[in-house]
Structure 1
Amino acid sequence: MRPHLKKQVIFIIGVSGSGKSTIGNLLAKELDLPFFDGDDYHPESNREKMASGKPLNDEDRKGWLMALNTVAKEELKKNSCIIACSALKKKYRQQLSEGIENEFRFVFLHGSFDQILQRMESRSGHFMPLSLLQSQFDTLEPPENAIRVDVINTPEQILEQIKSELNKSEFGLIGLGVMGKSLCRNLAGKGFYISMYNRHVDGKEEDIALTFKKDFPELHTAKAFDKMQAFVHSLQTPRKIMLMVNAGKAVDQVIEEILPFMSTGDIVIDGGNSYYLDTQRRYEYLKEKGISFMGVGVSGGEEGALQGPSLMPGGDPDAYDKIKGYLETISARDPDGNACCSYLGKGGAGHFIKMAHNGVEYSEMQLIAEVYQLLRQGKNMQPDKIADLFEEWCQGELNSYLLEITAKILRRKEGNNWLIDLILDKAANKGTGNWTTVAASQLGIPATVLTSALYSRYISAFKSSREKASALYSPEKLSLELPIVHIKNAYRFARIINHHQGISLLKEASESYAWELDMSEICRIWTNGCIIRSAFIETLVPLLKKEKDILLNAHIAGMLKESYAAITQTVSEAVLGHYPIPCLTAALNYFNSYKEDRSNANMIQAQRDFFGAHGYRKNDDPEGDLHHTNWS
């Protein structure tokens, strides 16, 4: 069976005498591809050195590997090709494949020293003497990410094994919900050969993967499965399997289902909204079994997953090196054209970052909702006029994806009615806001804007109680006299506080879990593809390379000072007008507390000492011993 090949370079690697040239030539003829023997590209100085019995050093190999890399790049402009090259060390293989990270495969011909020595003794006319064979075995760092073939087999058997592996998919995805389907189409559309799996449930979920494959032309090379064993066995080794299933027990169940068919060195990627401590547990559990685990936050929704999401990978750094070609290719691009994806930290770091992202997202959505209500009810503006205003704001520093989509929402009608007026005012959530609030509390970070946004969703769920309370208290909302520019600047102010709190949470987690998170890099990944992408996020990328606390940056401080009067007046007038503005109020209260050099916490300490003898420190010795007063 001739494999269906994507355009790629197939490097046949191994020690001298393993049969690289023989197998490379045979495979090239079988696949009708050009073949290049790496030995032909050694400079004369290298040949003379080896012929004299001296092994090559790294400097000797550098020019040779660069020459073969150039051959690979030139051939890829036309078609696939096959190159035989020893490439014994990991760093040699990195030099060999530099710049073609998504377009190569390694085939590793391996055998024992005695097997290879016997083969070398039977050949003649080669410039490398037998005495150098041991140095090659000493240098060899067996590749993990390669088709591994035992040279004890016949050339015909070796060819069949290589062709069988080449015919397998390079990436697998489990779970064909909205996000899973979009990621499959994204991967396949970028030229990757994928396998797709969705469970089979009689009468409910039947032939999901096969039907999906038939619906989209970009999936013509994809393989569809509803049997787990066949799906796993359809993948090249080391296998790379991404899970797009519901967070929680479903992830553990799928992991247990695939484990019997997995091998050491395989990689499992959880792309769902999993709780970061669950991800940490799974990381440790699979590590014991020789399987790498990555927790990858995926943001962008259905459209983002298809066109280019923001990806937040955490877990095994070596595993990331093997999957980054796929993730970085399908991700969104930042303003400089770089992938909105890079390795962020070990264990559950990726999912923690996604959780914090969602916390900021909750707050941004609630802030827009509060601004909308103030404009709609307090300023008596119609939805289309508010849409005009939001679009105007998007022309400047307030530009964001969420503000853009809100303008589109406000223009939509159903018949003669504004659709926004027909939507039930009960906001759902999937738990990430709750997790972020809990994590912030555990880590001692006052994420007050997020907490207010979460509780706003919770209170919205009590629709019948709210209706009864409205009838009982009959709150009459007052018109707002403040200018619209004050509402705009209040929104600007609160957004800065929201992002500050999200970044503070990430910093504390980084220190507590020793993740060494790069705040600037995280914000760079958030500049495109994700739900919270905005002009403000872009300003934070260079700023966070120098600053630890954005509120202490002169530029940010200037923005807050300019907007302080506006948010103070907006909150005051909104409260007097009976408008619920929990996030705007939380942002102002946080800032007022944050800038107090002398807070009211001294009273709290005195009270604690009075009833519990907890002790207190004094202003003249803030790090000194605790004092206690007999208050009675």
Structure 2
Amino acid sequence: MSRANIGIYGLGVMGSALALNLAEQGFDVAVTNREVSWIADFVAEAGPLAERLHPHSELSAFVSGLKTPRVILFMIPSGAPMDSMIAAVTPLLEAGDTIIDGGNANFHDTRRRAEALGQQDLHFVGMGVSGGEKGARHGPSMMVGGTAHSWTQLEPMLRAIAAKYEGVPCVAHLGPDGAGHFVKTVHNGIEYADMQMIAEAYGLMRFGLGMSAPEIGAQFEAWDKGPLRSYLVEITGALLQYEEAGVPFVDHIRDAAGQKGTGRWTVIEALQMGQSASMIEAAIGARSWSSEKVLRERLGVQYGAGRGAVSVSLDQIADALMAGRILAYAQGFRILRQAAEEYNWPLDFARIAQIWRAGCIIRAALLDDIAEAFENSASHGGQLLEAEAIAAKLQAALPRLRAVAGAALGAGHPAPALSSAVSFFDSLRIGSGTANIIQAQRDFFGRHGFERLDQEGKHHGPWWD
């Protein structure tokens, strides 16, 4: 019996798509699933690719059917299910084998698992996979964390199945243990912010300018042909032009957004490291508030839910989205920069930007400029906002971001992400801010002390004399 190059446990949407992608690229794939009844149906529906698929109903046979050193990709829910599967499979493995968690796992769990398995001479990889079902099937963006040994095993297969940008695979080994999962977490945080800003722009156009959903869809479609080109702008333009029973299809959808937790993790980790993720937090807050629809309806009656007309142009909204997107990426890369120092990860920011240019949800034309900025980072120390090309784009668009955010707030339109973008930028660009008042307050009530501009050391105010 021929042995498979890789095993995939978990034949849900993503696992099935990745298995077919690998088979299509000429790799033999062992497959199994907790619900064994799924296996035969999956293989039957694979068509000609079925000859590359090796189904197994028992875990032991699945492991035995792999070439050594073995590579097993788990596409299952994160958390306790992953720990249970590690406990079940490790007795069947040998030194040098690699286990991959391809889900949206908390990177702290990934670090813990990598350390524990390393003591058994087993390798644990945390791999972020972006692109949804279509990406997994035809070319995702993948962010890999793990040992050099595991990357040697994985690289040929992952480069073959990855999305390609101008022929270059959108996959990279980013560092040890949890590096890949952390980068995917921040990717998702940026995704939250971008989606929220697009939703805010839609709200201004629909309720502030009186445009119809199809008109707005056509506008997003036009924007996708220019500097704002991105996957999220593209799909927004498409989905707004669907109708059902003569009504825009989006009007049939309850305005209560869901979330799976990765955005929250981004904010939590940023705060733990003393960094700002204010735009991502604004997007998470907006989703949380949206789920309280009954309360929102009551408060609308109590306080009035009117949204006034806004005096902004479509060009201004487009530039506001561009400025907001630049600032969202800037926040994301600042978090990555801090994590690289905190966890001693050799994160290559230019390479991260490059692998996000195809296959993933946040792929955007702007990433070309970001990648180039980080390739020339010697001039700005890795701070995206100091890169000349990025600064030029932001300075050109910033006045319109201010105008749009101000018009939204003045007319009663919620714009938490766009407003946070302005505040984030203004807080960073003011050389002399107002934190001296906070330091004085802290010293006044708690004798915490402060630094002086004109003297070294720690000082207290005259209120303690």
Q: Look up the SS of the partner of 1:364 in the other structure.
A: helix
Report SS of the residue matched to 2:55: strand
Structure 1 distance, partners of 2:136, 2:52, is 20
Q: Say which of 81, 84, 99 aligns to 1:250.
A: 81
Give the one of 204, 217, 220 matched to 2:51: 220
CA distance in 1, matches of 2:206, 2:308: 12
CA contact (8 A) 2:354 2:371 kept: yes
Match among 17, 33, 37 for residue 198 of structure 1: 33
Determine helix, strand or coil for the equivalent of 2:30.
Answer: strand
Does 2:100 correspond to 1:269? yes
State yes or no: 1:581 paired with 2:424.
Answer: no
The aligned runs of 1:229-628 (5 Å cut-off) are 229-335=60-166, 337-547=167-377, 548-621=382-455, 624-628=456-460
- The alpha-carbon deviation at position 564 of structure 1 amounts to 2.2
Deviations 1:128-163 (A, max 9, x none): xxxxxxxxxxxxxxxxxxxxxxxxxxxxxxxxxxxx
The residue aligned with 1:203 is none
Q: Residue 178 of structure 1 is aligned with which of 1, 13, 26? A: 13
Q: CA deviation at 1:290?
A: 1.2
Q: For 2:299 and 2:369, how far apart are their aligned partners in 1?
A: 44
Tell me the distance in 2 between the aligned counterparts of 1:568 and 1:358: 26
Number of the residue aligned with 1:68? none
Distance 1:190 1:557 in 2: 42
* Alpha-carbon separation, structure 1, partners of 2:91 and 2:40: 24
1:555 deviation in Å?
2.0
Cα distance per residue 1:438-497 (max 9 Å; x no partner): 001001111110010011111111111111111111132111122221111111111110
SS in 2 for 1:544: helix
What is the rounded CA distance, in whole Å, between the counterparts of 2:150 and 2:407 in structure 1?
Answer: 54
Instruction: Tell whether the 8 Å contact from 2:26 to 2:52 is kept in structure 1 after alignment.
Output: no
Tell me the distance in 2 between the aligned counterparts of 1:566 and 1:187.
46
1:185 maps to amino acid: L
User: Is the CA contact (8 Å cut-off) linking 2:114 and 2:123 kept in structure 1?
Assistant: yes
1: CA distance, partners of 2:198 / 2:440:
40
For the 8 Å contact 2:356–2:362, the answer to whether it is kept is yes
Cα distance between partner residues in 1 of 2:308 and 2:120: 64
> Do the aligned residues in 2 keep the contact of 1:310 with 1:526 (CA within 8 Å)?
yes
Distance (Å, rounded) in 2 between the aligned partners of 1:497 and 1:170: 42
So what's the TM-score if we normalise by structure 1?
Answer: 0.72
SS at match of 1:411: coil
Cα contact 2:218–2:241 (8 A) shared by 1: no
> How many Å apart are 1:364 and its aligned residue?
0.5
Tell me which amino acid in the other structure corresponds to 1:560. Answer: L
The Cα of 1:630 is off from its aligned counterpart by 4.5
Any conservation in 1 of the 2:214–2:241 contact (CA below 8 Å)? Answer: yes
Instruction: Give the counterpart letter for 1:303 in structure 2.
Output: K
**What is the alpha-carbon distance in structure 2 between the residues aligned to residue 354 and residue 424 of structure 1?**
28
Aligned residues: percent identity?
37
Q: Deviations over 1:567-591 (max 9, x none)?
A: 1111111111100000000000111
User: What is the one-letter code of the residue matched to 1:268?
Assistant: I
Residue identity in the other structure for 2:461: T
What is aligned with 1:631? Answer: 463
CA distance in 2, matches of 1:372, 1:493: 16
Partners of 1:259 and 1:560 lie apart in 2 by 51
SS at match of 1:246: coil
One-letter amino acid of the counterpart of residue 155, structure 2: K
**In structure 2, what is the Cα distance between the partners aligned to 1:562 and 1:574?**
20
Gaps of 5+ in 2: none
What is the alpha-carbon distance in structure 2 between the residues aligned to residue 347 and residue 375 of structure 1?
45
Distance 1:520 1:270 in 2: 25
2-side partners of 1:334 and 1:318: how far apart?
26
Distance 1:325 1:390 in 2: 38
Maintained 8 Å contact 1:610/1:630: no
Structure 1 distance, partners of 2:364, 2:394, is 18
TM-superposed CA distance for 1:377, in Å, is: 0.5
The alignment partner of 2:451 has SS state of coil
Q: Does 1:211 align with 2:41?
A: yes
Q: Any conservation in 2 of the 1:490–1:567 contact (CA below 8 Å)? A: yes
CA distance in 2, matches of 1:316, 1:562: 43
Structure 1 residues 116-127: aligned runs within 5 Å: none
Question: How far apart are the structure 1 equivalents of 2:402 and 2:366?
Answer: 22
Q: Where does residue 48 of structure 1 map in the other structure?
A: none
CA–CA separation in structure 1 for the residues paired with 2:306 and 2:169: 51
Q: Per chain length, whose mean CA-contact separation is higher, i.e. which structure has more relative contact order (CA < 8 Å, sep 6+)?
A: 2
Distance in 1 (alpha carbons) for counterparts of 2:148 and 2:294:
50
Residue identity matched to 2:121 = G
Q: Distance in 2 between matches of 1:212 and 1:564?
A: 51
Q: CA deviation at 1:169?
A: 1.1
- Which one has the largest radius of gyration? 1
Q: Is this contact kept in 2: 1:199–1:227, CA < 8 A?
A: no
- 1:554 positional shift: 2.0
Name the Cα RMSD after superposition.
1.0
Amino acid at match of 1:246: P
Aligned to 1:28: none
For residues 251 and 188 of structure 1, the distance between their equivalents in structure 2, rounded to whole angstroms, comes to 24
SS of 1:342's partner is strand
Q: Which residue of 2 aligns with 1:36?
A: none
Higher helix share: 2
- Count of residue pairs the alignment pairs up: 459
2-side partners of 1:605 and 1:417: how far apart? Answer: 56
Secondary structure of 1:426's match?
A: coil
Give the drift of 1:311.
0.5
Name segments (4+ residues, structure 1) moved above 6 Å.
none
Contact residue 221 and residue 238 of structure 2 kept, 8 A: no
Distance 1:258 1:210 in 2: 22
Q: Name structure 1 gaps, 5 residues minimum.
A: 1-163, 201-205
